[in-house]
Amino acid sequence: MVLFVAVLGHGSAGKALMLAEMPGPSNETGRSRTQHAAWIFTFIYFGLNVILTLLLLLQGMTWFDALCHSFGTIATGGFSTYNDSVAHFHSVGIEMTISLFMILACTNFTLLYLLVCFRPKQLLADVEFRTYMGILAFSTIAIVLFGMQYSDFSSWHDALRYSFFQVVSIQTNTGFATQNFDNWNEFGRGSLFVLMFIGGCAGSTSCSIKVIRHILFAKILWLEIERSWHPSVVRQLRIGGKPVEDPHIRTSVLVYFGLILIISVTSWLVLDTVEPDAAWTEHGRNRHEKLMDCASGVAATLNGVGPGLGTLGAAENYSHFQSSSKVLFVLLMMLGRLEVYVVVVLFIPRFWLRRY
């Protein structure tokens, strides 16, 4: 979407697509400022790829592997040149380097621009970034503790190493793997499933539901609950201490979560109906596990993660699904990667004709 605005965007079409990638409270910007921001994002994206490629080269990767893993990291695509993904390199340094750049790729590029301009306080002051980092830290610590309790890891070092990488990989929707996390305990697997629906910050390369939308949803939900027992109270919706001026944002956020819920549940039921139970019994799994596998397949494709759980885990693939199910997965990947609103609006002729 950013490249669309920078290279081809003009008028209302380019501006609307740019704003669709910023799902939160934002000020209106003119055409010149929108395209200027798009070019800045493009240069940051290019710069991150160059830096990561060089760092991977210094750690022993070939040019081909370094370029492919750099592209897969910054774009949060997660496609490796090896079947065992990043685990193939058996390098803590490579894993931590890729983890750092996955985090950067899912940080709002505006904040990265301010960081480059030597304004780090803006980064730490941003409520979305703090929440994003807080979720990563909390999830990692929880999975480490439960993993050690259930003997998923041989040592605290391995627990922190593998948990941190997989939490970052799943929440940023990248999908790289360093371990078969489907062998983890139920809490660990369940946590990764939830993280698939969280994603990174607005204005980043992340898919899924951006962190700012979760923040807005939680605040709106609390305000509506408060209104139920104090109907006379008038309280403004605020983000980072500042009031949100957009009067339609409450409806927009609630509608978005409603669309994601309807799409997810409907797709899950369709998969469970279409897929024969025999495909699971051949893998030594039962009917109840099929429900979870189909649900994780929807979560993994809609949120652009890649690997799911069970027969779709890090060591498995989607080959055993029916052709009709694969078509559904393709549609879900398109919806998740391009944002639901963006995909729908592109097929409405009035969108291209309207002028603001």
CB crowding 120-129: b at 16 or more within 10 Å, else e: eeebeebebb
Output the pLDDT for position 62: 95
Question: CA 133, CA 228: separation in Å to the nearest integer?
Answer: 32
Read off the pLDDT band of 21 (50, 70, 90).
low
Read off the pLDDT band of 235 (50, 70, 90).
confident
Output the pLDDT for position 28: 45
- Candidates 7, 32, 34; CA nearest to 20 is 34
Question: CA 239, CA 261: separation in Å to the nearest integer?
Answer: 24
**pTM recorded for the entire structure:** 0.87
Question: CA 68, CA 49: separation in Å to the nearest integer?
Answer: 10
Per-residue pLDDT of 63-112, as tens digits, reads 999 999 999 999 998 889 998 999 999 999 999 999 999 999 999 988 89
Per-residue pLDDT of 80-89, as tens digits, reads 999 899 999 9
Read off the pLDDT band of 32 (50, 70, 90).
low
Per-residue pLDDT of 132-147, as tens digits, reads 999 999 999 999 999 9
Output the pLDDT for position 252: 84
| Distance from the first to the final alpha carbon of the chain | 20
Cross-strand bridge partners of residue 239: 242
> 219 by DSSP, 3-state: which?
helix
Q: Average pLDDT, whole number, for the chain?
A: 85
* 11, pLDDT greater than 70: no
